[in-house]
């Protein structure tokens, strides 16, 4: 039933359409055309204005032929850099780029699979529930499309997102994450003539960072400082440094504790510097205004936001049982997976739509070595078709 050549041609076509985050309009237009021709009711939401992009999230609804609850199938349209001018190479059943760009199988392999699933169902009049296809924007830069998606547009309470590697695994546990931006303010001065008149913001920040436990905290918690910006020139004592970082954990209490420790460490180090400086300078002949200014620095400002909530789907949930039953029917196993990354599934789960993440076989994503096998895409296509048929026929009790 599956048309391998159609998957190949469609994926190649999609991969060669530029769709960097915030620039998904061209691929969305093509997908709207394809999905409309397939008989779906296609709409676009207003996420474009909220993410400052040229395109919103795309929603395509298929009526199905079975009086059961609907299922959402989802992937994202955007890709990372270098993703302009992609040239797809297909050799021995494997898709790659020409080595100068990413391939874009993250996540266009998902889109090609979903389109093939709906084509096969339609062409063969297979049992099928109502299906709501959601293709999001700006996933790669912070899950922005999903964050700004209005779930009232959907009837589905369960679904599957195709945004992983393992074709025989379903992601059921993913961590919550907090993102923070910390600004440390010091005082500028000439680094050669009068360094004692300055307060080195980079030095303050460095001492705070040195006190942090970074990397793998435990089996379910991580922390990272990923970006530091500061300073103007080597002969100027830096008066500002900005630190960007994150903390993740499958345990909400641990996440709260790690995040608070990071923030409190910066405040504590700044306070120690402040106390030392004021003690050293208080005996000097300075005006009251000078002393007040000294007492205000170094200063710490913190911006903290939840990047995404955790996902935690029990093994007896219908989303998992459907996937496992489908895999078993195809002679395969389906293993529940715990991962350290986030996906649109985290956002949907937090909004009440339980979504398992399935794999398409994509490997080395976000690199110029990215690849995906046609066979893996075919296998995921078969899995989804089987899931839809099982649900449509009411073989499992979907109320559990």
Any idea which residues carry the catalytic annotation? 78, 139
CA distance 291 to 15: 61
Closest to 356 (Cα-Cα) out of 164, 106, 108: 164
SS (H, E, C) the chain: CCCHHHHHHHHHHHHCCCCECCCCHHHHHHHHHHHHHCCCEEEECCHHHHHCCCCCCEEEEECCCCCCCCEEEEEECCECCCCCCCCCEEECCEEECCCCCCCCHHHHHHHHHHHHHHHHHHHHCCCCCCEEEEEECCCCCCCHHHHCCCHHHCCCCEEEEEEECCCCEEEEEECEEEEEEEEEECECCECCCCHHHCECHHHHHHHHHHCCCCEEEECCEEEEEEEEEECCCCCECCCEEEEEEEEEECCHHHHHHHHHHHHHHHHHHHHHHHHHHHHHHCCCCCCHHHHHHHHHCCEEEEEEEEEECCEECCCCCHHHHHHHHHHHHCCCCCEEEECCCCCHHHHHHHCCCEEEEEECCCECCCCCCCEEEHHHHHHHHHHHHHHHHHHHHCCCCCCC
**Phi then psi dihedrals of residue 4, to 5 deg:** -60, -40
Residue with tokens 């989804």: 384
> Token digits for 207?
């001492």
């Amino acid at each position: 039933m599956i048309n391998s050549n159609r998957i190949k041609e469609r994926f190649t076509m999609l991969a060669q359409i530029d769709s960097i985050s915030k620039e998904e309009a061209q691929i969305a237009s093509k997908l709207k055309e394809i999905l409309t021709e397939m008989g779906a009711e296609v709409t676009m939401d207003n996420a474009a204005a909220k993410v400052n992009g040229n395109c919103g999230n795309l929603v395509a609804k298929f009526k199905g032929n079975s009086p059961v609850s609907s299922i959402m199938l989802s992937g994202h349209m955007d890709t990372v850099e270098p993703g302009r001018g992609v040239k797809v190479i297909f050799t021995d059943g494997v898709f790659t780029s020409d080595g100068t760009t990413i391939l874009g199988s993250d996540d266009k392999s998902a889109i090609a699979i979903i389109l093939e699933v709906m084509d096969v169902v339609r062409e063969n009049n297979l049992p099928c529930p109502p299906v709501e296809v959601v293709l999001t924007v700006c996933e790669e830069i912070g899950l922005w499309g999903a964050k700004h998606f209005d779930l009232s547009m959907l009837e589905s309470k369960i679904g599957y997102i195709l945004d992983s590697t393992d074709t025989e695994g379903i992601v059921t546990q993913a961590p919550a994450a907090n993102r923070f931006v910390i600004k440390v303010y010091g005082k500028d001065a000439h680094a050669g003539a009068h360094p004692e008149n300055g307060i080195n913001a980079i030095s303050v920040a460095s001492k705070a960072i040195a006190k942090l436990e970074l990397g793998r905290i435990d089996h379910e918690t991580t922390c990272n400082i990923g970006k530091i910006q500061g300073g103007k020139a080597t002969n100027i004592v830096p008066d500002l440094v900005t630190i960007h970082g994150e903390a993740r954990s499958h345990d909400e209490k641990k996440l709260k504790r790690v995040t608070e420790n990071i923030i409190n460490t910066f405040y504590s180090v700044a306070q120690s510097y402040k106390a030392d400086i004021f003690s050293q300078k208080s005996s000097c002949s300075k005006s009251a205004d000078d002393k007040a200014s000294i007492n205000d620095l170094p200063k710490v400002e913190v911006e903290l936001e939840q990047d995404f909530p955790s996902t935690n789907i029990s093994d007896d949930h219908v989303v998992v049982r459907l996937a496992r039953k489908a895999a078993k029917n195809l002679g395969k196993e389906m293993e529940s997976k715990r991962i350290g990354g986030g996906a649109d599934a985290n956002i949907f789960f937090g909004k009440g739509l339980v979504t398992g993440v399935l794999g398409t076989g994509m490997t080395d994503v976000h690199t110029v070595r990215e690849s995906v096998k046609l066979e893996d895409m075919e296998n995921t296509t078969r899995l989804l078709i089987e899931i839809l048929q099982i649900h449509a026929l009411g073989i499992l009790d979907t109320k559990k």
